[in-house]
Chains A and B, each alone.
Chain A
Amino acid sequence: MSQRQVLQVFEQYQKARTQFVQMVAELATRPQNIETLQNAGVMSLLRPLLLDVVPTIQQTAALALGRLANYNDDLAEAVVKGDILPQLVYSLAEQNRFYKKAAAFVLRAVGKHSPQLAQAIVDCGALDTLVICLEDFDPGVKEAAAWALGYIARHNAELSQAVVDAGAVPLLVLCIQEPEIALKRIAASALSDISKHSPELAQTVVDAGAIAHLAQMILNPDAKLKRQVLSALSQIAKHSVDLAEMVVEAEIFPVVLTCLKDRDEYVKKNASTLIREIAKHTPELSQLIVNAGGVAAVVDCLGSCKGNTRLPGIMMLGYVAAHSENLAMAVIISKGVPQLSVCLSEEPEDHIKAAAAWALGQIGRHTPEHARAVAVTNTLPVLLSLYMSTESSEDLQVKSKKAIKNILQKCTYLPALEPFLYDAPPNILKHVVGQFSKVLPHDSKARRLFVTSGGLKKVQEIKAEPGSLLQEYINSINNCYPEEIVRYYSPGYSDTLLQRVDSYQPLIN
């Protein structure tokens, strides 16, 4: 045999290998093929191809493995059990950038499913190589490495700590400053995943100087980048007052308010989440947000969103109003209460309604002025119906009851209280009658209105145990009126009158 013929055999084999691996990679993009591939034993065939001489075969094999592991966690477990990871990690250090990208893709695909798989990746020492990949020149490699690190750090605090210990955070902060948008996105999302678990991790991220760069990127026109940046800032700010203050010092207000007008729903949601996390810590931070006009922007944003994107905005209004009565008054004058009552009545989901009920309760509980502002928008009947309805979840019922109780204890606006006399359950009726008994002795017009609207009649019909608080309230209301009127409206008065007619002896002259 001539040399050429010998070489031809080798060439044929190489051709076959490349074709196989390319086809497998292409088939793995479609989910319906993956079952068949798995049953055909594709893992054991791909494994030796990772060690192939030809780099293109190695890369394509890694790509195919990544796509398979990406699909579900059984395959990812198979990748881990097949001892493929150490080989990948070892060759990551030496190969070219296509291979690095493919290998980082495999690590990401395996690490995203569960904490145990991510732990397996950490155990085989992949973090150091990934961090080395973060220093690579090629932005694609950096992106793949940052993505893998982000997915690993997402699961729990220990894994995040492991990622931080490998020294990834300063490199991620450098990656954020790169010009490529995709790389910025991924680096921001990785920082967000790292800092969400605990204050110490967030502090590490802040110490690397991430806040200034993240704050600059809020102005970027790309929507997905803004999502990640806002999410990262809110994960940092949520842990403690100091971190929130540091985020605020980066001068994000009032720029963040422009993000509330963005077209993308998730940008609006993340922006309102960020504002909520800042507002919830102290009254001073809430005051800062109010002074910057943040409340008005959030109220407008609530009007333009639907569904779950409204939830952080609603909670933010609740937190601001909860701190002090001046802030609650600021929320009221920013037209927050009509918007919240619209949310309460419109939204189908129970947890959003519960949040709206809670926020309204926080606004109305401070002084009679606040309670009046809530009561004039006719939200109290809605709250009552939510409390009484059997379809509401328990959380919603509890929150609406607390809100009603808090508002009623301060409410002196009688036209809003009157409907409660008719259809409220006894425990709420007690508060309503108590409020009437406080207001009526001092206001003559209100007394007149109370009689003409039939309230006195209803009060007489209430059965209360003698000596209970309710009876005392009823007595104090009855004392506001002359006895004839009270008797006139007492139940069964017409019967007593008829009885008197029956028993009357007419005067016969």
Chain B
Amino acid sequence: MGQEREQMKKELFYSALASNASRVLTEEMRQISVVDQFRKKENDVAIKIQSWFRGCKVRAYIRFLHKGVTVIQKWWRGFLSRQHYQLVVKIAYYTMKMNLYNTMAVRIQRRWRGYRIRKYCFNYYYLKEYLRAVSEANDAIREALEEFAEMKEREEKKAELERQEKERDYQARKMHYLLSTKQIPGIYNSPFRKEPDPWELRLQKAKPLTHRRPKVKHKYTIDLDSWLACTSSRSFPRSGILPPINRKQCQGPFRDVAEVLQQRYKPLEATLRVEEPINTLQEARELLWRKECMRNINDNLFLPFSSYHKNEKYTPSVYSPCKYDADSYRHQHFREENPKKWVNAKDFQTVLPSFELFSKYGKLYSKAGQIL
């Protein structure tokens, strides 16, 4: 339509030109411009309406597309999640089962380990018993040692008391002269006391000491034959005659000591007859016989070749082996192993059959899962 207008416009212009009608031209021109404006407005409006409508169409189409896509995606996502969920459930189930198995296995292992230790390795009650026995033994030893120590102390005290008693006795014997007499009361028996001092009684009981003989100090005698060393009681007297004893003469009609000793230790002067033994002849004969026998090789009498030898029995020597083998019986074995020497033809019979478990004693039953 616009083209027609244009055409019309052109025609009008040309007609106007042709007709030289200026008024018709300006009138036409005025009409054309108003119509022009109106036309533009209408055009715009029409365009707007059209675009809006087109937009609605497109949007409706897109909406339609979206719905479909959403449905597809929804289903796809559901599918994936369900897969995942199944996996998760499988894993959880598996974990739960494994946990259960583990706890059960732990229970079994616990029981087995406890059983094994208790049966084969370590006996707790035995240990307790042992420790109790040890503590009892300790107590017994402690008591015994206490008793021993007490006994020792008592003995020592006793010895100490005895020593003190001996000491006091000796003192009393030394101080015997302090004893009180009828005329003069001694220092321990004062008249102002009720009863005499215990020392007084001791002095009464004590026997006075005898005078100590002055010790003869043995100066080293200078004579040349004094160098016989041993004069103590343990050694034998070296000289034939005993040395003289330094002692004053005893009272009474005694003989001279030297004479007596000489007589006592006089050596024997035997007669010729006494000096020889009574059986000299017999001894001489024996001596001769022994000398002759010494040179003999064979002590048997020589016998002629007669039937004397035929009845001789052969006596086997003790040291040669005999068929009963007496020596090795108690020394090397008790029970005969060789079947030929048995009395009966059978061996000893065992009462019980052997128990195979005992051969495994000390070794474990299972070894990393393998059954032995």
Contact = CB atoms under 8 A, between A and B. Distances in A.
Interface in B123-154: 127, 130-131, 134-135, 137-142, 144-145, 148-149, 152
A330 to B, nearest CB: 5
Given A54-B227, A263-B152, A333 B134 contact: yes
B65 interface: no
A53 B229 CA distance: 13
Contact of A333 (B135, B222, B223): B135
Contact of A292 (B127, B131, B137, B227): B137
B230 to A, nearest CB: 7
B131 A330 contact: yes
Interface in A273-316: 290-297, 300
Contacts of B127: 326, 329
B222 A292 contact: no
Contacts of A11: 222-224
Interface stretch (A62-70, A254-262, A339-347): A254-262
A392 interface: no
B222 A56 contact: no
Contact of B138 (A55, A258, A295): A295
Contacts of A262: 152
A18 B220 CA distance: 9
B145 A330 contact: no
B360 to A, nearest CB: 25
Contact of B134 (A14, A263, A334): A334
A262 B155 CA distance: 13
Contact of B141 (A53, A97, A254, A330): A254
A338 B349 CA distance: 60
A296 B222 contact: no
User: B interface, how many residues as a size bin?
Assistant: 20 to 34
Contacts of B229: 55-56, 96, 98
Given A56-B227, A326-B127, A15 B138 contact: no
Contacts of B131: 326, 329-330, 333
A40 interface: no
A24 to B, nearest CB: 15
Contacts of A54: 227
A257 B134 contact: no
Contact of A261 (B134, B135, B139, B149): B149
A7 interface: yes
Contacts of B148: 258, 261
Interface of B: 127, 130-131, 134-135, 137-142, 144-145, 148-149, 152, 220, 222-224, 227, 229-230
Given A257-B141, A300-B145, 6 more contacts: A254-B144, A263-B152, A291-B134, A293-B138, A297-B142, A330-B134
Which 4 A-B pairs rank lowest in CB-CB distance, beginning with the nearest?
A293-B141, A296-B138, A293-B137, A261-B149
14 contacts: A11-B223, A54-B227, A56-B220, A56-B227, A96-B230, A97-B230, A98-B229, A261-B145, A290-B134, A293-B137, A293-B138, A293-B140, A295-B134, A326-B130
